[in-house]
A and B are shown apart, each in its own frame.
Chain A
Amino acid sequence: MEVMQIANSFPMWIACGVPVLLVVVQAALFARDSFTAGKAMGLTDIQLKSAARSSAITSIGPSIVILSGMLSLLVMLGGPVAWMRLSMIGSVMFESLAAGIGTQTVGVTLGSDPLTPLAFTMALWTMVLGSIGWVIFATFSADRMSVIEQKVSKGNTVIMTTIASAAIIGVFSAQSAASLVRLNKNAVACILGGLIMAVITFIAEKKDSHHLREWSLTITILLAMLITALL
């Protein structure tokens, strides 16, 4: 049997669908319990729903970027594998790198040489073994790191908030800097994103517009992307 036929066969969809389903089930269970907990802890329905809605709106842009990254993986390794690998663990960059390492050890260059069944198997194994390290460490350490954080802050909520806010700024600074130092169009997009956001935030505050605030991120990234592409 030809390797792409195996890769795109119906049982392969099922085999890859089970792990994807698990990720969905985990998210659904966490969401359900968090809604219940939120209400028990005095958050209003409006707060919870606007949190969910804002996150949904924000998700669309990055999802499409991930989708366009899935295209290359889909052509090389078939639909089911591309779908599973980008729905759980890892990221676009990691997956193609790991797949390439896997096929290379049996002498196949991913994307240029024809894929053999053995190379396909190697790609899959390498992606799996290369990614479970993240989940194992994260799953094992999540509650333990929480204990450490409690000790550092001595349960003081002001300190906890300071730590989390500083960490968020650190993450976004590092991500922005990675684009900025390239001094190419990515840097332009990053600067435009910042500028447009500043302007929209200013207008939203002045007009006290709830809708503008909710859509500000989506409007900003679309505008910045368009302007950068047209430059």
Chain B
Amino acid sequence: MDNDKYFSQVYMPKMNRLGKITGYLGVLFSFIPVSYLAWQYGLVPQGSALFASFITAAASFGVLWVVEPISYFPVLGPIGTYMAFLSGNISNMRVPCASIAQKAAKVEPGTEQGSVVSAIGMAVSVIINIAVLTVGVVLGASVLEKLPPNVTQALNFLLPALFGALLVQFGLKFRKHACFMLVFAIAIAYAVRIGLFNWLPGAANYLPMLSTVFISIIIALMVHKKKA
């Protein structure tokens, strides 16, 4: 069987099935702890209080349930989408690891080989993430609290440094485009910060990412068309 057919006729159908089964199982399984509390201790929430807190939660970030899977899809692809949303920590971990894996294997994003490699990168990052968290939780608060405060403070700078580094690493290949997008992203982030989008509820949570990703795609496609 040639490569092209293997991907579309064997690999993808299998991955879609696996992604859907594990995804929906994940939704069910996240109710195990609350079910245990109800069954063992009779601890059930009052209906009205639960309704109130669900509405508050949905109003604060309900838009993200739909906006995030859509705006990350062009980066994550279908397999990555299944994995990233079940495991969480998407922008700070899954996207960087998937992209770095593609770079290491020298495959292009958006291709079939790229999808396979990013799935491997993402799976590895999920396992490392959980391993680190498990070690941390076993060591427990007693050990973690002994970390000197300047160490925990310094850790706050790790993610900003990571994003700056990644932007340069991936932007070097498309310098003009990356510079323009950074200026655009800063403008949007600044506009949101000074409250220009306050009329749009929750805009601060999704507008910068959503608009930057899609403007970036549109511009790249226009430039591509012009060249062709």
Contact = CB atoms under 8 A, between A and B. Distances in A.
Contacts of A141: 69-70, 81
A12 B36 contact: yes
**Range for the number of chain A residues in contact with chain B:** 35 or more
Interface in B2-24: 3, 6-7, 10-11, 14-16, 18-20, 22-24
A165 B174 contact: yes
Contact of B122 (A55, A177, A185): A55
Contacts of A25: 22
B205 to A, nearest CB: 10
Given A80-B33, A189-B164, A229 B208 contact: no
A212 interface: no
Given A30-B119, A37-B6, A161 B108 contact: yes
A83 to B, nearest CB: 4
Interface of A: 1, 6, 11-12, 15-16, 18-20, 22-31, 33-35, 37-38, 40-43, 47-48, 50-56, 58-68, 70-71, 74-75, 79-84, 86-92, 94, 97-98, 101-102, 104-106, 117-118, 120-122, 124-126, 128-139, 141-143, 145-146, 149, 157-181, 185-198, 201, 214, 216-217, 220-221, 224-226, 228-229
Contacts of A94: 61
Given A34-B117, A170-B185, 15 more contacts: A23-B26, A23-B86, A27-B83, A51-B121, A55-B125, A62-B129, A94-B61, A118-B45, A118-B46, A128-B33, A139-B20, A167-B217, A172-B167, A177-B185, A189-B158
A201 to B, nearest CB: 6
Contact of B189 (A80, A131, A174): A174
